[in-house]
């Protein structure tokens, strides 16, 4: 039996006029730094450091998915991450994607596919010796793909390196003067 609508299972796939109009709208080009949190900010071990980064006007954080990604087969986790990356409505264009744990690498990879000019920054965790092989593999892939690798020290003074890199990518950090017209190169108003 065929579908009475004749759509062969593609209903709601964005093929109508509404989907075309939404894709035709210009994308906000505001440069962003996106933090991929491995757990909610309140429970995150590096909360103080992440909160310090989030003071930058061009920085935002994404909470982890509700599903336990570490328990899903890798192909399923990759598919879910690709779907999540497509559905995200970011208020700008990521220039840097900050990864704090190897299990978030699937989402980082999907975001990099959507925003190929973005850089991956990886906070290399100290993995325990008995870490599962899958986490070790994801760690190795993230480390190999990363444009910047940095330590996971609790001290937020370590963020200076990240703020400087943000500024070089055009992401306002709120720390180094990029939001001031005299520093950004725009004429004073």
Summarize pLDDT for 76-127 with one digit per residue, the tens.
Answer: 777 777 777 788 888 899 999 999 988 889 899 999 999 999 999 999 888 8
Give the pLDDT of residue 189.
Answer: 40
The phi and psi torsions of 61 (rounded to 5 degrees) equal -120, 145
Q: Which two tokens stand for residue 177?
A: 């003067």
Q: Is residue 48 part of a domain?
A: no
pLDDT confidence tier of residue 14, bands split at 50, 70 and 90: very low
Task: Evaluate whether residue 4 is within a structural domain.
Answer: no
Q: What band does 27 get if pLDDT is binned at 50, 70 and 90? A: low
The pLDDT of residue 67 is 62
Give the number of domains in the chain. 1
Structure tokens at 61: 């954080």
Where are the alpha helices (H) located in the chain, listed in sequence order? 17-24, 47-53, 74-87, 105-114, 133-145, 159-168, 181-184
Q: pTM here?
A: 0.74
Q: Quick check: 162 and 169 in contact, CB under 8 A?
A: no
100 falls within a domain: yes
Tell me the Ramachandran region of residue 7: left when phi exceeds 0, alpha when psi lies from -120 to 50, beta otherwise: alpha
Handedness of CA 30, 100, 146, 165 (dihedral sign): positive
Copy the structure tokens of residue 6. 């004749």
How far apart are the C-alpha atoms of 119 and 96, rounded to whole Å? 5
Tokens coding 39: 């757990």
Cα-trace Rg, the chain: 19
Which CATH number is 82's domain given? 3.40.50
Domain extent for 166: 58-172
**Domain for residue 36, yes or no?**
no
């Amino acid at each position: 039996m065929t579908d009475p609508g004749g759509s062969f299972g593609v209903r709601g796939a964005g093929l109508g006029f509404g989907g075309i109009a939404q894709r035709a709208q210009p994308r906000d080009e505001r440069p962003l730094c996106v933090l991929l949190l491995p757990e909610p900010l309140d429970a995150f071990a590096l909360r103080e450091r992440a909160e310090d980064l989030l003071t930058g006007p061009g920085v935002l954080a994404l909470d982890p998915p509700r599903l336990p990604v570490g328990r899903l087969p890798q192909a399923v986790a990759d598919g879910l991450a690709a779907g999540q990356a497509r559905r995200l409505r970011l208020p700008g264009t990521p220039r840097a994607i900050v990864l704090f744990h190897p299990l978030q690498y699937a989402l980082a990879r999907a975001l990099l596919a959507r925003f190929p000019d973005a850089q991956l920054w990886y906070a290399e965790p100290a993995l325990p010796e008995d870490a599962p092989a899958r986490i070790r593999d994801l760690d190795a892939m993230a480390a190999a793909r990363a444009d910047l690798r940095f330590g996971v020290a609790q001290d937020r003074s370590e963020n200076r390196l990240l703020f400087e890199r943000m500024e070089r990518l055009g992401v306002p950090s709120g720390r180094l003067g990029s939001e001031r017209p005299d520093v950004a190169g725009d004429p004073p108003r």
